[in-house]
A and B are shown apart, each in its own frame.
Chain A
Amino acid sequence: MVEMVMKFSLICFSFSMLGLVYRLIKGPTVPDRVVALDAIGINLVAIIAILSMLLRTNEFLDVILLMGILAFIGTIGFAKFLEKGEIIEYDRHR
Chain B
Amino acid sequence: MKTNDVILQTASKVVFFIIILFAIHLFFAGHYHPGGGFVGGLMTSGAIVLLLLAYDIKTVSQGFPIDYKILIGIGLFLAAGTAVAAVFFNVPLLTHAFGYFDLPLFGKTSLHTAMLFDTGVYLVVIGVTMTIIQTIGESE
CB atoms of B137 and A73 under 8 A apart: no
| A: interface residue count bin | 20 to 34
Contact of A59 among B33, B53, B133, B137 (CB under 8 A): B33
Which of B22, B46, B55 touches A73 (beta carbons < 8 Å)?
B46
CA of A84 to CA of B33 in the docked complex: distance in angstroms?
A: 41
- Interface check A3, CB cutoff 8 A: no
Closest 3 CB pairs of A and B: A88-B137, A92-B56, A89-B56
Is A77 on the interface with B (CB-CB < 8 A)?
Answer: yes
Which residues of chain A have C-beta atoms less than 8 A from B22's C-beta? 65, 69
Q: Which residues of B contact A (CB under 8 A)?
A: 3, 8, 12, 15, 19, 22, 26, 29, 33-35, 39, 43, 46, 49-50, 52-59, 133-134, 136-138
Query: Which of A62, A66, A69, A88 is close to B57, meaning CB atoms less than 8 Å apart?
Result: A88
A62-B35, A88-B137, A90-B137 known; A70 vs B57 contact (CB < 8 Å): no
Give bound CA distance, A83 to B22, whole Å: 30
The answer, among A65, A69, A83, A88, for a CB contact under 8 Å with B52, is A88
Complex Cα gap A72–B59 (Å)? 22
A/B interface sample: 19 pairs, CB < 8 A: A62-B33, A63-B34, A66-B43, A69-B22, A69-B43, A70-B46, A72-B15, A72-B50, A76-B8, A76-B54, A87-B137, A88-B49, A88-B56, A88-B57, A88-B134, A89-B57, A90-B56, A92-B55, A92-B56
How distant is the Cα of A88 from the Cα of B139 in the complex, in angstroms?
10
Question: Which A residues are in CB contact (< 8 Å) with B19?
Answer: 69
